[in-house]
Chain A
Amino acid sequence: DQQVKQNSPSLSVQEGRISILNCDYTNSMFDYFLWYKKYPAEGPTFLISISSIKDKNEDGRFTVFLNKSAKHLSLHIVPSQPGDSAVYFCAASARSGGSNYKLTFGKGTLLTVNP
């Protein structure tokens, strides 16, 4: 049973436009959400996070939105750049539930930004 779902395996956008990556979760105990970015032949790198007490967190070109009632979060990249081309993983944790820092990851979405 997959608790974190990224239903789009891939997404292609034009440089300068907005990229929107989506993530759904089923476990209502999750209260902290993160996005990781992964280039080929490298490990994932932390990108941005959001706590369940917020509905938006912004860091430069990256914004994460959380809709708790829908159990849905999204990552917006504006404007998209060719260097953003990577696999993006959504991850979640039940921080207040004594999770031992366990992260549950989605399968990832391959973003391609075309020049």
Chain B
Amino acid sequence: EAQVTQNPRYLITVTGKKLTVTCSQNMNHEYMSWYRQDPGLGLRQIYYSMNVEVTDKGDVPEGYKVSRKEKRNFPLILESPSPNQTSLYFCASSFLGREAYEQYFGPGTRLTVT
């Protein structure tokens, strides 16, 4: 089954404790992206990657890091989480080209930072 998986689905952590949210896709997609969804703000892009070892900032990259060492994986790293990073996070992937706009989303990771 074609899918984007994220782990964990739910996470409660404390300020400053490094964490990683994993994202993996099995569709051989070149393009992967991370979004956060906050009440009243819709989805905002954090980082994206056009292919292995090619990453770039989205609209709200502060406080986040990413890496793309393999085509299927695109982990989101919070080196020192803060309460304002409490949010619902989505990973998405797609082929490049015309289809890139029709992205496949993972189920989401709800993160709470206390």
Contact = CB atoms under 8 A, between A and B. Distances in A.
Interface of A: 4, 32, 34, 36, 41-46, 49, 89, 91, 93, 95, 100-103, 105-108
B50 A100 contact: yes
Interface of B: 4, 31, 33, 35, 40-45, 48, 50, 56, 58, 90, 92, 94, 96, 100-108
25 contacts: A36-B105, A41-B108, A42-B108, A43-B92, A43-B105, A43-B106, A43-B107, A43-B108, A45-B104, A46-B103, A49-B102, A89-B42, A95-B101, A100-B56, A101-B33, A101-B50, A102-B45, A102-B48, A102-B58, A103-B45, A103-B101, A105-B35, A106-B42, A107-B42, A108-B42
Contacts of B94: 101
A101 B108 contact: no
Main secondary structure of the interface of B (DSSP, over half): strand
B41 A44 contact: no
Contacts, number: 58
B96 A105 contact: no
Contacts of B41: 107
The 10 lowest CB-CB distance pairs between A and B, nearest first, are: A43-B105, A101-B100, A105-B43, A105-B42, A107-B42, A46-B102, A44-B105, A43-B106, A43-B107, A43-B90
A100 B48 contact: yes
